Copies of this chain bind each other. A is one copy, B any other.
């Protein structure tokens, strides 16, 4: 086997910390380190896990890290120089700045997240839909959580039956569970009011031929997003054929009705029951009971999307595609799924520290 791919995590928030853990679970990758601006409880845990911690501005932050008992391994530039590839998980919009000020200058391949514009990378990525397009690219953007969830489902439907037109209503979580400042705390926000929402065009950065309209709202919840997907399909499959098509993809999880999973709270609670790290449900959570063919033959379904984690396996696959360590997307996804127990609903083994 070739040398392991050396991965640097520039940014260690909601996505970055999960990608770091996921890299640690791959046998063909190593984690060079993670970059933080200041010590906090996330840095505490990263440090206890033995992840090398680099500071975005060591001169400014060193005394704070020292007071917290955390040794710095250097600056984020030091970290990036040591890496084969950077996963940029900086806050929205900062990726573009980092590209200009760091990755371009150090001539380092980088993955951006869905908070950045498509144009920052020029290639947008979903593993099932367009793995091959990322092979050998210097910059690739992994699309956002909602777009990832939509690409997964629509790619499956399009491959099996052809999507003539998709109409999607997204009910989005207001903020993440550890975000004390976002809203709304009471109300339903059409977001944006001017249609369509960006999600449709964003799906088209990965699947340009898909005809799709999207509308989105924000509501007072932190756990997951919910999609109501309607699609006119070119073939007219039966409900059973749709279910069979969904079951071919481990990242599409059909919730059995006897589980009595009634809402997003139960989906996350199931993640807790399984002992999944951070209770993450990286799969689209699709209510099997909701799979419906209406009288015009249109397909309807509810799916919940875990905004904190569904892009994590996509980042891992994107690393393999860009570095060319695996040219077959299907093989990369199988490897990632196995390492992260995606599509596997056995409880994790938990061993006290």
Check if A93 is an interface residue, CB within 8 A of chain B. Answer: no
A155-163, A259-267, A298-306 - interface stretch: A259-267
Write the residues of chain A forming the contact surface with B, with a CB cutoff of 8 angstroms.
17, 25, 38-42, 44-45, 48-49, 64, 67-68, 177-180, 186, 222-223, 258-263, 265-266, 268-270, 272-275, 277-279, 339-341, 344-353
Q: How many copies does the complex hold?
A: 2
Residues of B contacting A260 with CB < 8 Å? Answer: 38, 40-41
Residues of B contacting A68 with CB < 8 Å? Answer: 258
Assuming the contacts A279-B278, A340-B352, A351-B348, asked whether A180 and B263 have C-beta atoms less than 8 A apart, the reply is: yes
Which residue of the partner chain B has the closest CB to A67?
B258
Residues of B contacting A270 with CB < 8 Å? Answer: 41, 45
Residues of B contacting A265 with CB < 8 Å? Answer: 177-180, 222
Q: How far is the CB of A270 from chain B (nearest CB, A)?
A: 5
Residues of B contacting A177 with CB < 8 Å? Answer: 223, 265, 268-269
| B45 and A274 contacting across the interface, CB-CB below 8 Å | yes
| A64 and B258 contacting across the interface, CB-CB below 8 Å | yes
Q: Could you list 15 examples of A-B contacts with CB < 8 Å? A: A41-B260, A42-B273, A45-B273, A177-B268, A178-B266, A179-B265, A180-B265, A186-B186, A273-B278, A277-B350, A278-B279, A279-B279, A341-B353, A350-B350, A350-B351
Residues of B contacting A39 with CB < 8 Å? Answer: 258
| B179 and A48 contacting across the interface, CB-CB below 8 Å | no
| B262 and A272 contacting across the interface, CB-CB below 8 Å | no
Q: How far is the CB of A291 from chain B (nearest CB, A)?
A: 19
Q: A41-B259, A44-B345, A49-B347 are in contact. List 15 more A-B contacts (CB 8 A).
A: A25-B352, A38-B260, A41-B273, A44-B273, A45-B347, A48-B345, A67-B258, A68-B258, A178-B269, A180-B266, A272-B279, A275-B278, A279-B279, A339-B352, A348-B351
Q: How far is the CB of A17 from chain B (nearest CB, A)?
A: 7
